[in-house]
Amino acid sequence: MLLKDISVYIHIPFCIKKCFYCDFNSYSNFDLVDDYLNALFYEIERYKDLKRPVKTLYIGGGTPTVLNEKKLYLLINTLYKNFSINNEVEFTVEANPETLTKNKIKVLKKMGVNRLSIGLQAYDDKLLKVLGRIHDVKRFEKAYFEARETGFENINVDIIFGIPGQTKDKFEKELKKLIKLEPSHISCYSLTLEEGTVLHLMMQKGLLELPDEDEERYMYHTAKELLENEGYIHYEISNFAKPGKECVHNITYWKCEEYLGFGAGAHSFIGNLRFSNYKGIKEYIESIFNKNLRRYEEIYVLSQKDKMQEFVFMGLRRVEGISKNEFKNRFCKQINDIYGSKILELKEKGLIYEDEEKIKLTLKGLDLANLVFMEFID
């Protein structure tokens, strides 16, 4: 019997500096890096008898490329020693341009990494300062071209719109400059001000002014039009890819397929269980080595209803939408028997489209996606 493949995520929670918009699980204190990696390697080694082939590998953060070449090598080598990984696996590493040196790029390439995700965020030095980024445009371009020269063909670049001080025209110019570089994938996100971040605090004090809602939506539709005209496929709300370069790892999440997460705050989904590691670095390390402590911070048993809800609202993130047949095969029920009234109501509002095979967001639905998702969550 063939064993079902699985995706693997590794979290590196260290950054040189916390960006002003970031609420991710990341820290700028490097005192515990070695202890953290020891715990991470030990956690990975616990799964050496898993025997399930790995479909995708993704090292994220934080900033994985704050690690030096030796530590990057040890981390990746630990993955190869403990998991069944072939040469065709999509293997992504996130990188900040400031920490992505030529030597690190060579190590990543040599160790089988075949996809880089570079956090540009803004193609404008003034806007990078507003976001609290540690790099400038010149440093991004240097890292990007060095990655290309080293042989990386599959590169994602993140860019944000709706930044304070960013006009519609400025964003359009930024995006056109990025398109000229021909990255294989572009993640294009709207800025959200999460509570507790520097930008959120500044906004509360009246020190910042965001573009208004019409401007922000104009930027999104401009991105969609420009990128599609340049041959990018809009395959998820915020993600665009050249044909065949869609992020397989993220599709795992959107299709509610199984994955394992390693490191501080990392989440896993296996069978009917969702479980997550302790978020704090010290707490995570202690949970790995102290047998008297509870191993996971949270464990949640998913009901059939939970799984159906997740399948719908995660699946609707994908532009192609939800397959009715896949819903029936997975849950032995017709999607309209479960959500028929909600689907009808959302269709009448012009937020979703339905035919015999699928249900998906309309253009209006893409703009109001979170409201649609909430309709399927109790």
- Using the predicted structure, report yes or no on whether residue 140 has a pLDDT greater than 90: yes
Bridge partners, 61 (sequence order): 12
Q: Using 50, 70 and 90 to split pLDDT, how confident is the model at 1?
A: very low
Cβ contact 89:56 at 8 Å: yes
* pLDDT of amino acid 310: 96
For residue range 166-203, list pLDDT tens digits in order: 999 999 999 999 999 999 999 999 999 999 999 999 98
For residue range 192-243, list pLDDT tens digits in order: 999 999 999 998 898 888 999 999 999 999 999 999 999 999 999 999 999 9
Q: Using 50, 70 and 90 to split pLDDT, how confident is the model at 132?
A: very high
SS3 306: helix
Q: Do domains 6-254 and 305-374 have the same CATH topology?
A: no
Distance CA 259, CA 317 (A): 18
In angstroms, what CA-CA distances link 95 with 26, 137, 180, 310? 14, 15, 20, 29
Q: Using 50, 70 and 90 to split pLDDT, how confident is the model at 378?
A: confident
Where are the chain's structural domains? 6-254, 305-374
- Using the predicted structure, report yes or no on whether residue 3 has a pLDDT greater than 80: no
Distance CA 79, CA 50 (A): 12
**Secondary element (H or E) of residue 62:** none
DSSP 8-state code for residue 316: T
Cβ contact 154:247 at 8 Å: no
The domain 6-254 having CATH identifier 3.80.30.20: the answer here is yes
For residue range 241-295, list pLDDT tens digits in order: 999 999 999 999 999 999 999 999 999 999 999 999 999 999 999 999 988 788 9
Distance CA 231, CA 313 (A): 27
* pLDDT of amino acid 209: 87
Cβ contact 289:300 at 8 Å: no
Tell me whether the omega of the peptide bond preceding residue 62 falls within 30 degrees of 0, making it cis. Answer: yes
Mean pLDDT of 133-155: 98
125's tokens: 């030095």
Q: Assign 3-state DSSP to the chain and report helix, strand, coil percentages, each to 5.
A: 45, 20, 35
Q: Using 50, 70 and 90 to split pLDDT, how confident is the model at 2?
A: low
- Higher-scoring residue by pLDDT: 31, 49: 31
The count of other CB atoms within 10 Å of the CB of residue 265 is 20
The count of other CB atoms within 10 Å of the CB of residue 124 is 19
Q: Which of 133, 185, 115 is nearest to 157 (CA)?
A: 185
Distance CA 283, CA 40 (A): 13
* pLDDT of amino acid 294: 87
Cβ contact 249:242 at 8 Å: no
SS3 165: coil
* pLDDT of amino acid 308: 97
For residue range 335-377, list pLDDT tens digits in order: 999 999 999 999 999 999 999 999 999 999 999 999 999 999 8
Distance CA 184, CA 189 (A): 17
Distance CA 272, CA 256 (A): 11
Q: What CATH class has 305-374?
A: mainly alpha
Bridge partners, 236 (sequence order): 239, 318
For residue range 81-121, list pLDDT tens digits in order: 999 998 889 999 999 999 999 999 999 999 999 999 999 99
> What's at 352, amino acid-wise?
I
